[in-house]
Structure 1
Amino acid sequence: MEKKRNIVEWAMHYRQIVILVTCCLVAFGIYSLPQMQKNEFPDFTIRQGMVIAVAPGNTVNEMVEQVTKPLEDYIFSYKEVKKEKTFSTTRDGIVFVQVELNDELNNKDEFWSKFKHGVATFKSQLPPNVLAIQVMDDFGDTSALLITMESKDKTYRELSDYMDELKNRLRRISSVGRLTVSGERAEQISIYLDPERLSHYGLNEQLIAGQLFAKGFVTTGGRIQTPQYVLPVHVEKTFNTLYDVQQQIVYSDPSGNVVRLQDVARVVKEYPHADSYIKNNGTKCILLSVEMKKGKNIVQMGNDIDRVLEEFKTELPSEVNMFRITDQAQVVGDSVNAFLRELVIAIVAVVIVVMLLLPLRVALVAASTIPVTIFISLGLFYAFGIELNTVTLAALIVTLGMIVDNSIVIIDSYLEKIGEGMSRWHASIF
């Protein structure tokens, strides 16, 4: 009766099939490396969010009774909310509620979509002076690329126009997600009333402000900028030129005499006072944040963005410069290249070290297990949708040592059994 072969003996007996399958898997792994998903860090679920309600003029006690308590009761009506980790902070006119979801919740996007719709409906049950309720749930989104556009000569409006054109081109890349611009400053038309001219015509600030409000003007509430009292009035976009604003009639009498705004005020187009701004290399700039869609290859996205940027730079004026502040695509690409370099170094090191103790043929067998195992692993990563990131690269690097150790232990045992008189076939099976 023929003895039943175990899996090792079967593989040796049909070694042509095993070699063919192994070569196919290695080839698939080599093909998978440039195709597979790559990212700097693995995706993880952020189960925290923030709910902000604003009611100007309310004291802390009024906010607690009228807004905080009803809002908390509504939030706790959702079974997905982890009550022991959800808390609120109330101040004059505003309340912050930090919401944390249960750990077993996997589809957080579906919950937040339902939650935002519910909060928008719930707002009608709050007092009328609650101006807005904002739900923020995108704390886990990270920027894959930060680009500054800067110039010493161009205005913010011109830089914004160039940035809009760049955004339009980047949107055509399928892997590009949200695009966010920071540091923009919009121009405004400001009106500075002159007290002496007002006195000459027998007018005052309140009368002028009333006339301007009736025509659709918006004010910031006034500001004392010099020892002389000045009331700035900002203009909505319905007035496009300085001339339109200067010619506005603010007073008229029965005789047909009129007083125009330019007669009692200085009207200028300027940038408002900025509480914050962005500079790079000591130059004013605006900042573009590029996020990647989930499940995409960040290295491929980086290559697509590079082509767009190189073409766009040729169309920019010489006085406008673009700089990359952070570039995850380059970081990930460098990490993959470093891993491949370490892989080659490991193979060479194994051959040299093992040759000092064992024959060359044995050293080559031990070294060959490294690329075979690694590329088969990469092929399995690609087949099962596992991306290449910092964690998976670290795991592959750690396994390099284990692969070499296993190979040397098996070969050493094989040579030992041959030395004891066992046949090559049975020593290999053992």
Structure 2
Amino acid sequence: MSKEKNSRWVAWMMRNYRLTFLVVGLMFILGIYGLDKMPKAEFPDFTLRTGVVVGVYPGATSEEVEEQLVRPLERYLFTFKEVKRAKTTSTSQNGICSVMVELNDDVDNKDEVWSKIKHGLNSFKSTLPQGVADVVVNDEFGDTSALLVAVESDSWDYRQLEKYCDLIGDRLRTLPSVSNVRILGNVKERISVIVDYNRLSAYGIGSQQLADALSAQGITTVSGSVSGWQKDMPVHVSPALRGEDEIAELIIYSDADNRVVRVKDVARVERGYDLTDGFIEYNGHRCVIISLEMLAGNNIVQYGRDVETMLAEIKAAELPEDVSIH
């Protein structure tokens, strides 16, 4: 009976072949349309259940870190039933420790669990020794960049490039498919006080007195070490509090005869960028990178087109000609 019914369907489709071709053609067209519109991602969606908890304990030995920070931290983390104890490991060294935490395989909403752990750690910090500076959690290992945009110019410095990157990032965040925008490779501006030790010794002033004078004015200095008889020693100063001229005019010494010694008498004050820690180049030019992430469920091809269209509009209307976007 079933064979006869199947043969009837086949016979009907052969007799009405025009309608059959029409249905097949419509399905083919819908398939091509769906191939273009279906969600596409550069990387497959997966759940990464691993995170790291870092504790900072300045001045403590590895044994003190292990006894006073790592053990209480592990005990607290193991109070969460979602934490897989067998896969959680810790390492400690002088002044710092890290605990690699892995959640159970049956955890579906890892963001909710990590939010609960972070919230609990904020209260747990008060039970740790006073010397513990901070406990930080990082659980965003699964976030990947969908696009990298290089913003470079030979005419503008890093401070201006950062402003342009903020402008571009704010505009790109208006796209519904953009989830996160991060700026990478921006070198922070600083003011350096470069001390001439010959002048400093001629006035009978020590380097510590100069550092104390700068600190008294609310300027944060970065301490370092001096070896040998070097003439110049840079002291890094936060540029957010003072300009070069104000720092140069600061009085570091005065006596009863109203004779004063200012910073400019014993040092050079310069504004610039510290490139010793590294920087990013594109086509041989220093640049700043904008990292873009895509919301799950979107089409990476259409995502790229939307970003390119937005960048073209920004470049034409809001950026100078000597700023390039790649």
Question: After TM superposition, is the score higher than 0.5?
Answer: yes
State the match for 1:183 in structure 2: 185
Q: Which residue of 2 aligns with 1:91?
A: 93
Q: Could you tell me the percent identity over the aligned residues?
A: 44
Among 48, 55, 77, the residue aligned to 1:53: 55
Looking at structure 2, the residues matched to 177 and 302 of structure 1 have their Cα atoms a distance apart, in angstroms, of 14
SS at match of 1:294: coil
Paired residues of 2:222 and 2:237 also in contact (CA < 8 A): no
1:170 equivalenced with 2:168 (yes/no): no
Shift of 1:168: 1.6
Asked whether 1:116 is paired with 2:118, we answer yes
Partner of 2:129, secondary structure, is coil
Deviation per CA, 1:301-346, whole angstroms, max 9, x where unpaired? 11110111222333544443333xxxxxxxxxxxxxxxxxxxxxxx
Partner deviation per Cα, 1:148-205 (whole Å, 9 max, x = no partner): 2223443222222222221121111111111112111111111122223223333211
Which of 318, 322, 326 does residue 325 from structure 2 map onto?
Answer: 322
User: What's the secondary structure of 1:37's corresponding residue?
Assistant: coil
After TM superposition, the structure 1 = structure 2 runs for residues 389-404 of structure 1, keeping only pairs within 5 Å, are: none
Provide Cα deviations, 1:377-398, integer angstroms capped at 9, x if missing partner.
xxxxxxxxxxxxxxxxxxxxxx
Calculate the TM-score normalised by the size of structure 2: 0.88
User: Which residue of structure 2 lines up, in the alignment, with residue 215 of structure 1?
Assistant: 217
Specify the code of the residue in structure 2 equivalent to 1:196.
N
Cα RMSD of the aligned pairs, angstroms, is 2.6
- Paired with 2:136 and 2:213, the residues of 1 have a C-alpha distance of 34
- Secondary structure of 1:188's counterpart equals strand
From the superposition, tell whether residues 142 and 257 of structure 1 become closer, same or farther in structure 2 (CA, over 3 Å). same
CA contact (8 A) 1:38 1:298 kept: yes
- Matches of 2:97 and 2:116, distance apart in 1: 21
Structure 2 CA distance for partners of 1:107 and 1:8, relative to 1, 3 Å: farther
Corresponding letter in the other structure for 2:179:
G
Cα drift, residue 240 of structure 1:
4.2
Q: 1:129 to 1:11 in 2, by over 3 A?
A: farther
Task: Compute the displacement of 1:59 (Å).
Answer: 0.4
CA distance in 2, matches of 1:272, 1:122: 37
1:31-70 aligned within 5 A:
31-70=33-72
Which of 8, 13, 29 is 2:6 aligned to? 8
Alpha-carbon distance in structure 1 between the residues aligned to 2:143 and 2:197: 51
- After superposition, the Cα gap between the structure-2 partners of 1:30 and 1:6, relative to the gap in structure 1 and judged at 3 Å, is farther
Q: Secondary structure at the match of 1:219?
A: coil
Decide which structure has the larger Cα Rg and report it.
Answer: 1
Structure 1: distance between partners of 2:94 and 2:26: 68
Output the TM-score relative to the length of structure 1. 0.68
The structure with the greater share of residues assigned to helix is 1
Instruction: Label 1:61 to 1:10 Cα distance change in 2 as closer, same or farther (>3 A).
Output: farther
Q: Aligned pairs, how many?
A: 321
> What CA deviation, in whole Å up to 9, does each residue of 1:243-290 have, x standing for no partner?
111111222334433322212221111212422221222222222211
CA contact (8 A) 1:58 1:93 kept: yes
CA distance in 2, matches of 1:306, 1:102: 41
Question: Given the superposition, is the C-alpha separation of residues 64 and 317 from structure 1 closer, same or farther in structure 2, using an over 3 Å criterion?
Answer: same
CA separation in 2, counterparts of 1:311 and 1:225? 54
Structure having the higher strand fraction is 2
C-alpha distance in 1, partners of 2:306/2:228? 52
Deviates more, 1:284-293 or 1:152-161: 152-161
In the TM superposition, 1:182-331 aligns within 5 A as 182-224=184-226, 227-314=229-316, 316-323=319-326
Aligned residues of 2:52 and 2:99 also touching (Cα < 8 A): yes
Quickly say closer, same or farther: Cα 1:12–1:98, change in 2 above 3 A: same
> Structure 1 stretch 211-220 or stretch 155-164: which is displaced more?
155-164
Distance 1:10 1:240, change over 3 A: farther
The residue type paired with residue 252 of structure 1 is S
Matching of residue 145 in structure 1 with residue 110 in structure 2: no
Closer, same or farther: CA 111–14 of 1 in aligned 2, 3 Å: farther
Ranges in structure 1 where 5+ consecutive residues have no aligned partner: 324-430
Is the Cα–Cα contact under 8 Å of residues 38 and 299 in structure 1 kept in the other structure? yes
Task: State the Cα deviation string for residues 30-58 of structure 1 (Å, max 9, x = none).
Answer: 44333321112320111111111111111
CA displacement, residues 191-240 of structure 1 (integer Å, 9 cap, x when unaligned):
12222322333321111211211111112213549851544333234434
**How far off is 1:67 after superposition?**
0.4
> Per the alignment, in what secondary structure is the counterpart of residue 291 of structure 2?
strand
Counterpart of 1:105 in structure 2 is: 107
Deviations 1:340-398 (A, max 9, x none): xxxxxxxxxxxxxxxxxxxxxxxxxxxxxxxxxxxxxxxxxxxxxxxxxxxxxxxxxxx
Q: CA deviation at 1:6?
A: 7.3
Cα 1:321–1:68 change in 2 (3 A) is: same
Deviation (angstroms), 1:135 = 0.7
1:153–1:4 distance in 2 versus 1, CA, 3 Å: closer
Would the aligned equivalents of 1:54 and 1:130 in 2 still touch at CA under 8 Å?
A: yes
CA contact 2:59–2:95 (8 Å) conserved in 1? yes
Conserved in 2, the CA contact under 8 Å of 1:89 and 1:96? yes
Secondary structure, in 3 states, of the residue corresponding to 1:49? strand
User: 1:222 is paired with a residue of what secondary structure?
Assistant: coil
Change (3 A) 1:22 1:210: same
